[in-house]
Each structure stands twice: as C-alpha cells, then as structure tokens.
Amino acid sequence: MTILEARQITKTYAVGDRNICVLDNVSVAVPAGEFLVIKGSSGSGKTTLLTLLSGLDKPSSGRILIEGRDITDLKEDELAPLRNTTIGFVFQSFHLAPSLTAMENIMFPAELRRDVRAEEKAEILLRRVGLIERSHNFPHQLSGGEKQRVAICRALINDPKIVFADEPTGNLDSANGKAVLELLLELQKERQSTLVLVTHSTEIAEMADRVVLLKDGKIVCDGARVH
C-alpha cells in the first residue's frame, strides 16, 4: 500500500525578478513500512522535497497524497491534526523547547491532543531510548546525541505512521550519529512505521530500502537497494 505520494510536483521561488525552480516535476510513491532515503548534494532540493511531502509547505504545482488523501490544498487548521498524529518530524538541530525538560518536550505533542496517557507514554519512550534518568534535564543539560534521542521520542509519542527526518545525524559525531540512526531504524521496525530520511551520507543510504537521488531539483535515480 502506498502511504505517501508526490505527483509531478514543482517548486519555484521568486527571487527578485526571476523565478528559480528548485524542484522540477518530481514524482515519488512510498509504500507503507519503507525506509526511503532522499540523497543528493547540497542545494539539490532534498529539504524542499521533504517539506512538501510532509505538508509543511505547498508545491507550486502537482499533488501530495498521504494515505490516499490529497493534502495539497488543505488549510493550516486542517493540516495541524495530521501533523500531530500521522506524521512525526526529526530535525538536524533537534528543535527542542529550551524551557521544557526532556519529559515535557516529549509529552507536548500528546498533551496537544489531550492524551491522558501522555506521561506514561513519554516514560516508556524515555526508558526505551535509555534516558529515563535524564527525564528532568533541560536540553542544555543534554549532549547532542541525548537531545536527538529526546527529539525522536517526541516525534514518536503520537505513534505516527510516517516519520520524516532531515539530516538527523548531521550535528552528531560519527559514533553518536550511528547510534541515533540505529535507534531510529529499530523503532521504525518495532512500530512498523515508514521512514523518509534526507541525507548526503552514502553510508546511511546503504542502509535504506530505497534511495531517491536528486540532482538540481530532479530525480536522477530511484532504486531499491539490495541488502
């Protein structure tokens, strides 16, 4: 089953009196449960594609479908529940709220939907990623790897079907990066979710089920990997 689809999407930006095309007629269909890597050099359009696939921004033309539902024209208030439940996000720079503890950061998306089990779920996740002892620490009291593990818990608390990750190991050293990636993949398998991850890294791409290679806003290769 296809859980996520981009149909012939284009993204152009007006810069001065010129239009710059950063994604040019891109189509991609992601089956449920896949680990898809979007790879390409700097400026090739990876983050733009992730942003459009996840409904954070709108394409200039083309359609985006999540679970068969066309989300292209949905308004902010219609997209908000989708973002908070069907989708989880992990960013390169963690995006944790500095004034909230690890536990509070993780609980936040569950509290938004008034989940009475928010605290219990956050605790289970903190234990799962080995950070229960850090529950009451603020982000500035955590290492980069710990912050990213907290951010992963926050992304997962509402049990999203699709997790989008933009260079999730980009701010970590190689040992921490590897541990964070392994954790993301283990959790993806446990929860049978779909993972769409942006990276420049060939090493990470080699772990994916499929790699979409972007160059100058176009898909130049879309292929399953043989593990």
Ligand X SMILES: Nc1ncnc2c1ncn2[C@@H]1O[C@H](COP(=O)(O)OP(=O)(O)OP(=O)(O)O)[C@@H](O)[C@H]1O
Residues that bind ligand X (CB under 6 A): 13, 15, 20, 22, 40, 42-48, 200
**CB-wise, 60 or 85, nearer to ligand X?**
60
**Nearest distance, CB of residue 26 and ligand X, angstroms:** 11
Helices in 8-92 by DSSP H: which ranges? 46-53, 76-85
Angstrom distance (rounded) from CA 109 to CA 80: 11
Q: Which residues contact 173 (CB under 8 A, 6 or more apart)?
A: 144
**Nearest distance, CB of residue 57 and ligand X, angstroms:** 9
Q: Are 66 and 55 in contact (CB under 8 A)?
A: yes
Task: Kindly tell me the burial class for residue 41, based on how many C-beta atoms sit within 10 Å of its own C-beta (0-12, 13-18, 19 or more).
Answer: exposed
Q: Pairing state of beta strands 162-166 and 194-199?
A: parallel
**CB-wise, 43 or 130, nearer to ligand X?**
43
Angstrom distance (rounded) from CA 51 to CA 145: 24
**Nearest distance, CB of residue 130 and ligand X, angstroms:** 29
**Nearest distance, CB of residue 170 and ligand X, angstroms:** 9
**CB-wise, 153 or 195, nearer to ligand X?**
195
**Nearest distance, CB of residue 93 and ligand X, angstroms:** 12
**CB-wise, 40 or 139, nearer to ligand X?**
40
Residue 188: enclosing H or E segment and its boundaries? helix 174-191
**CB-wise, 39 or 149, nearer to ligand X?**
39
